[in-house]
Amino acid sequence: MKVAPGVEMLEIEAVMADGVPGTLCPTLIWDREDAVLVDAGLPGQLVQLRAAIEGAGVPFEKLTRVITAGHTHGHICLYLPGPRLLVAGDALSVDGGQLVPAPALTVVGAQAAARSLQKLAQYDVERVICYHGGLFAAGARARIAALAGIQPP
């Protein structure tokens, strides 16, 4: 799904850790020279990823860097100011159409996760791509602020 110029939310069918089928949503960001895949999927998904990347019109060979943020102290989110888009990775999820924090069992440090939500609430976010759950666009900035327990700036 094209989200903004040069930004595609891929949708990859997978079996989750609990054995339940689901959809993972890695983000592909590209320009004329480079392509970056954020949250690169699960082992064994190379064929599906390649098909999704090529389906977005990006040659697979153009992929030169892979960021594999996860449930670690080094987890990152990417904010793209032009389209006001937050690529949240695993920091947030979409569940039942609602933007929610990452499940507690996947959080390494609850206090650090709470501080991260407060940081994210400072950005002018219109839409969020979550690795689990996909795209959230209904009042994203206000929802992030509510999750952080603060008023939006």
Task: Check: pTM over 0.95? Answer yes or no.
Answer: no
Cα–Cα distance for residue pair 137/99, rounded to 1 Å: 9
Task: Give the chain's domains with CATH numbers.
Answer: 2-148 (3.60.15.10)
Mind listing the pLDDT tens digit for each residue in 57-113? 988 877 654 554 344 666 778 888 889 999 988 889 999 999 999 887 777 777 888
Quick one: pLDDT at residue 69?
A: 39
Sheet with 7-9, strands from edge to edge, namely: 2-4, 7-9, 27-30, 35-38, 63-67
